[in-house]
Amino acid sequence: MNSVDLQALFDAQYQASRAQVNVPLLVRRERLLRMRKLLDEHSGTLAAAVEADFGVRSQRLTEVADMFVLRTLLSHTLKHLNRWSRPQKVRTPLYLQPASAMIQRQPLGVVGVIAPWNYPVQLALAPAITALAAGNRVMIKPSELTPHTSAQLGLLLAQFFAPDEVCVVQGDAAVAQAFSALPFDHLVFTGSTAVGRKVAQVAAANLTPTTLELGGKSPCIIDTSCDLQDAALKIAHGKLLNAGQTCIAPDYVLLPRGSEAAFADAYRAAVARLFPSIAGNQDYASIISPRHLARLRTMLQQAQTQGADVQNMDPAPGAMPDPAAAVQDGGTSRQMAPVLVFGATSGMQLMQEEIFGPILPVVSYERLDDAIAHINAGPRPLALYWFGANGSVRDDVLARTVSGGVSVNDTLMHIAHDNLPFGGVGDSGWGAYHGESGYLRFCHQKSVLVQSRWAMGSLFYPPYGQRFDQVMGLLRRWL
């Protein structure tokens, strides 16, 4: 798509948003119902497109990780939309009475969404759904790494929405950069921290507010009080869903020293339970591209060279190449076996970058203070996971660490709670959406004060004199 076409799409949405500033609740609900109809009628087509883009990724995985999440979001939003959209009355302080006041929630206008490739349906449509609920128009730029999904999204959304309501912009990184430079009323980006910085810089030229959903190294802390088998199963599920290509996947484990062998055994058993085989298993997704697979294998090769203990967790390791072996053929299924890495050091690439694959480093600690210090020494993560039965230790960890979100005795699940805001902090992003938090993210909260005919504001008018001093004296005593 060239810059002229891109600008024309934006101009159409911009003009429509200014022509209809007050979007009726009935219109918003009808748009959400159209989105629900799209998913009900075409989820299979979209899941097949995702499978084609990944090479190996079962449609059932896409159903639970993309479609189900969108359906729950739609249901929750439709249920609460009437309340969210109403003006919110606020109390008026004594010195301004008998005036009344409220906060009016209005659409921002045009919202841009730059979606990633890892959950290409969910992360394109979830912010769009919430933005539509708030009365906005939406432009979506899907990832060029999922061309089949992007094309289907473009076709289907064009069937269900007018271009000045919702539209899809397809293209490469140059198109994404031009998309970022449009003067949106709000821009949502989901992706890496490095690209997020570039998006924020480009958007800043237009004073476009942004929501950046990034990533980082999300830790799992295992406490001595935890059930190790239960923790290993939940960590394996969180790590290996979509083969680790999840922004809130556990990135590394902090484990009490001396528990290494027990954890390796528990993790191996958990992997075998979830994925009895890896090669050809449709529930175990491929790595998205040869380039991403090569990056992961380079990480492992470096770790091995520098003395790390790399343990293959594949239940049938003979069926697949060594996870650290060089990429031989970019046309293979790109399934990569789960791996535990013991003895990883801070100088290794896999401890410096978000992994985004099925590699799980394990870092041993002597005291809880050491684990917390390790987390706090790095950028603030998007997610943090704690496993244990000791409530006081749990509360200590929650109080002394900062992360975008937390699941206790589980992984990933906090993102599924519609009443919890989802977002990052620091290098893992800014701004949060989901539920009412997302609705407010895509609204302008306009302050409105309605003055009464009995207002006493003239008591504060000049010329100032004795009466003014008396009024101020009374107010100081009251405050």
Rg (Cα) of the chain, in Å, rounded?
26
Taking alpha carbons only, the member of 108, 109, 207 closest to residue 445 is 108
Alpha helix positions (H), 20-164: 25-54, 59-62, 68-85, 122-133, 147-160
Q: Which of 213, 226, 354, 443 is catalytic?
A: 213
Distance of CA 152 to the CA centre of its chain: 22
For residue 213, indicate whether it is catalytic. Answer: yes
Alpha helix positions (H), 181-252: 193-204, 228-240
Per the CB < 8 A criterion, the answer to whether 403 and 386 are in contact is no
* Residue 403: HSE in the Cβ half-sphere, 13 Å Cα cutoff: 29
Residue 269 exposed, middle or buried by CB count within 10 Å (0-12, 13-18, 19+): middle
- Residue 1 in tokens: 């798509």
Report DSSP letters for 217-284, one per residue.
Answer: --EEEEPTTS-HHHHHHHHHHHHHGGGG--TTS--EEEEETT-HHHHHHHHHHHHHHH-S--TT-TTS
**Rounded distance, CA 136 to CA 165, Å?**
8
- Tokens 């969404």 correspond to 113
**Residues of 418-427 as b/e, b for ≥16 C-beta within 10 angstroms?**
beebbbbbbb
Q: Is 332 helix (H, G, I), strand (E, B) or coil?
A: coil
**Rounded distance, CA 58 to CA 78, Å?**
29
For residue 247, indicate whether it is catalytic. Answer: yes
DSSP 8-state code for residue 401: -
Q: Which of 167, 220, 226, 247 is catalytic?
A: 247
**Rounded distance, CA 292 to CA 423, Å?**
25
Peptide bond into 87 cis (omega under 30): no
Amino acid occupying residue 421: P
DSSP 8-state code for residue 243: G
Tell me which residues are annotated as active site: 213, 247
